[in-house]
């Protein structure tokens, strides 16, 4: 548990020199354990940031006593979702020190008889507000001062393109994990050394899609996502700028498509090595993916029909998922991808039959030949 917590703490206070205080690590681990006990019903997109939010809470609660440097949150999920998650955990989780103080105060109040308070001099207005003002300024880390920087690093087209890719590849449930992965890799410092790849964001989307989907499919995931599927991913991304739904959300001007470039196999392979070898899979976005949970969502759900103002929030379709015992099982559903595969197979088979017919092959002839043998 401590390694992802320590990594999150290091990302939150990058200006801290030396090793992390043991008290800070202990509190973050304690808050994480409490959150799993008290707040076990988080949404999938919130679960991605559970460790990060617990570490953020620990930093906020100990920044004064440990004299921590400024906290610089860069959460692995969209800011609006993270603010709600942080506020929820802040209300639900209480530090052990606070619990001890509450118990001591309650016990002391029960034993001590009431008595008159001693006379005190009324403090001045400046003195009264001094403590509150310092606390308000210290809370600045929660206001996402780096949100503009994040928006500059994560282009506007990323979310609509990821949703298009998952819709076409029948992997709708992977949307929140792919968005979290792309944003984490673009916004967070490299876990191990220097980055080996910069830019090539469409290729990054393709590679994160592959890692997420393979993990969600389980042990047989890599066998299912073969060469044809990989080529299909590249084809979908190549046509993303011509998709009507994507254009409605992003627009057609060049500024909206900043950072877009053609997807090349060598760029996808470069991102594969970067993600696999530089510790990116040790972060929350990947560790919180449920292995073998499946990737297929509701075919009819329109997960893109949301106001433009909420474009950075992820909506996961909840209804219509195929489970064992339902009337129509997933393996029997006729989807667009399966129709295309069938048409390819049919064309190849008819071509083979035509070729054999042209060579003079007939069923009767084959039977006679077999009989003569």
Report CA torsion sign: 155, 157, 162, 163.
positive
Distance (Å, whole) CA 214 – CA 346: 28
Which residue range(s) make up the domain with 344?
334-364
**Residues 285 and 227 both lie in one domain:** yes
**Domain shared by 163 and 299, yes or no:** yes
pLDDT in tens, the chain (373 residues): 478 888 889 889 988 888 889 999 999 988 988 888 888 888 888 888 899 999 999 999 998 898 888 998 888 888 888 999 999 999 988 755 554 544 444 455 445 555 555 555 555 545 545 554 444 333 333 334 455 556 667 888 999 999 999 999 999 999 999 999 998 898 888 887 778 788 899 999 999 999 999 888 887 766 777 778 888 999 999 999 888 888 888 888 888 888 898 889 999 999 999 998 888 988 889 988 888 888 875 443 334 333 343 434 433 334 344 444 444 555 566 677 777 777 778 888 888 888 787 776 655 555 445 444 4
Same domain, 52 and 179: no
Question: Is the domain of 33 the same as that of 74?
Answer: yes
Q: In the chain, how long is the greatest CA-to-CA distance?
A: 121
Pair 344, 302 in one domain: no
Give the per-residue SS3 of 222-276. Answer: HHHCCHHHHHHHHHHHHCHHHCHHHHHHHCCCCHHHCCCCCCCHHHHHHHHHHHH
Do 279 and 193 fall within a single domain? Answer: yes
Tokens 């499919």 found at:
217
135 lies in some domain: no
Rounded Cα distance between 88 and 147, Å, is 20
Global pTM value: 0.49
Check: CB of residue 144 under 8 Å from CB of residue 73.
yes
Judge if 52 and 193 occupy the same domain.
no
Into how many domains does the chain fold?
A: 3
Closest CA to 285 of 40, 9, 52: 52
Residue 227: how many other CB atoms lie within 10 Å: 7
Within a domain: residue 198?
yes
Q: Are residues 64 and 155 in the same domain?
A: no
């Amino acid at each position: 548990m401590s390694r992802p917590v320590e990594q999150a703490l290091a990302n939150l206070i990058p200006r801290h020199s030396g090793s992390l205080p043991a008290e800070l690590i202990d509190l973050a681990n304690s808050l994480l354990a409490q959150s799993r006990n008290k707040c076990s019903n988080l949404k999938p997109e919130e679960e991605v940031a559970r460790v990060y939010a617990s570490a953020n809470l620990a930093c906020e609660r100990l920044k004064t006593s440990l004299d921590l440097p400024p906290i610089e949150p860069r959460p692995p999920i969209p800011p609006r979702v993270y603010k709600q998650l942080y506020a929820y955990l802040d209300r639900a989780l209480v530090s052990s020190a606070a619990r001890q103080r509450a118990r001591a105060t309650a016990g002391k109040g029960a034993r001590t008889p009431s008595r008159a308070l001693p006379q005190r001099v009324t403090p001045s207005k400046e003195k009264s507000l001094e403590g509150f003002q310092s606390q308000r300024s210290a809370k600045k880390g929660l206001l996402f001062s780096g949100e503009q920087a994040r928006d500059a690093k994560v282009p506007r087209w990323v979310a609509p393109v990821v949703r298009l890719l998952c819709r076409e590849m029948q992997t709708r449930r992977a949307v929140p994990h792919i968005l979290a992965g792309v944003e984490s890799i673009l916004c967070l410092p490299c876990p191990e050394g220097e980055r080996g790849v910069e830019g090539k964001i469409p290729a990054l989307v393709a590679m994160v899609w592959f890692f997420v989907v393979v993990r969600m499919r389980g042990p047989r995931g890599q066998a299912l996502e073969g060469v044809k599927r990989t080529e299909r991913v590249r084809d979908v991304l190549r046509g993303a700028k011509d998709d009507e739904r994507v254009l409605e959300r992003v627009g057609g001007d060049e500024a909206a498509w900043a950072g877009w470039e053609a997807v090349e196999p060598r760029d996808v392979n470069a991102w594969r090595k970067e993600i696999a070898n530089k510790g990116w899979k040790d972060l929350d976005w990947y560790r919180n993916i449920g292995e073998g949970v499946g990737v297929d969502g509701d075919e009819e759900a329109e997960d893109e029909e949301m106001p433009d103002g909420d474009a950075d929030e992820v909506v996961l379709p909840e209804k219509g998922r195929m489970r064992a015992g339902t009337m129509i099982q997933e393996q029997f559903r006729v989807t667009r991808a399966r129709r295309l595969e069938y048409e390819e197979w049919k064309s190849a088979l008819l071509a083979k039959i035509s070729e054999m017919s042209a060579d003079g092959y007939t069923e009767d002839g084959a039977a006679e030949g077999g009989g003569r043998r």
